[in-house]
Amino acid sequence: MTPEELEFYKQKLMKKREEILSRLEKHSSAQNQEKDEGQEDMADRALQTYQKEYIYYLTDSEQFILDLITESLDRIASGSFGFCVACFGAIQKKRLEAVPWARHCIHCQELQDQGLL
């Protein structure tokens, strides 16, 4: 993989990470706003808080992707980015363009999805 390609994926990864983190910031600013809203019925308030957290908190898959992005950036730095962690073959470019944080090539991903890896 050329340095230009690595830079391209690095930018993609960082952009995605910012997208996810900006949702986290919305979550914390929503919490700060709540403190200024004055007194409300306790039950209503608990329900509202629950719903807001449900909307603003990172989902499990976002947290998962965030971890994979961090790992991919490490792999770019160490020179192992773009290779499957299972079979060590090169990950298909089309796959990396769609999912730059992919750890597996398409073949190994299919095996993993089937619980065979």
User: Which residues contact Zn ion by CB under 5 A?
Assistant: 84, 86-87, 105, 108
Phi/psi at 37 (nearest 5 deg)? -80, 0
- Bridge partners, 90 (sequence order): 83
- Distance of closest approach, residue 48 Cβ to Zn ion, in angstroms: 46
Cβ nearer to Zn ion, comparing 48 with 92 = 92
Count Cβ atoms below 10 Å from residue 13 Cβ, excluding itself.
Answer: 22
Question: Is the Cβ of residue 17 or residue 95 nearer to Zn ion in the bound state?
Answer: 95
Nearer to Zn ion, 66 or 86 (CB): 86
Q: How far is the CB of 96 from Zn ion (least distance, A)?
A: 13
Q: Which residues contact 48 (CB under 8 A, 6 or more apart)?
A: 34, 40
